[in-house]
Amino acid sequence: MIDQTFTIEEIARFYREVGEPCDLGCGESDVEKWINFCTGKYPYKGVCTVKKWAVIECRCSENEVLIIKEKLGLQPFVLNANHVMWDSQGRWREGNFCCSFFLIELEESCLFITKNTCYILVGNGHRKSISPTMLLAIMEGLSF
């Protein structure tokens, strides 16, 4: 449970901020190729294509980063997408918003790999940063 609450205005301000341009992502014409790549390499994971996305870095202390990386095998980044194009497991409908779990690996400059899903980043995106408490509040839905 998170002991810090955030106002709707604070959350809205985070979402309104565009962030820095990020040179990741593939073109829409390459999506089918990446779907085939992901289903072949990661047959046990879902595949989700997204656009209007942002890679969000969790601003952690050095000790927290060490725990996330070394103990959990994760990276302190999540994916926030404003438009799901397709999801192999039907978790999200086309046009829906989604937020991933923590990154395991960024592959081929357009694949955001988490424990359960290969997200294919389509088009241009952005990079943002957020405090760990606000990130967890958003992920747990405690902010609204």
Residue 142 lies in a domain: no
- pLDDT for 8 equals 75
CB-hemisphere CA count at 13 Å for 53?
29
How many structural domains compose the chain? Answer: 1
State the residue range of the domain holding 35: 20-128
User: 121 Cβ partners below 8 Å, 6+ apart?
Assistant: 24, 25, 26, 50, 51, 53, 79, 110, 111, 112
pLDDT along the chain (144 residues), means of 10: 66 84 96 98 97 93 84 90 96 92 95 97 95 77 43
Residue 120 lies in a domain: yes
- pLDDT for 144 equals 34
User: 63 Cβ partners below 8 Å, 6+ apart?
Assistant: none
- pLDDT for 141 equals 61
Residue 88 lies in a domain: yes
pTM of the model: 0.87
Residue 70 lies in a domain: yes
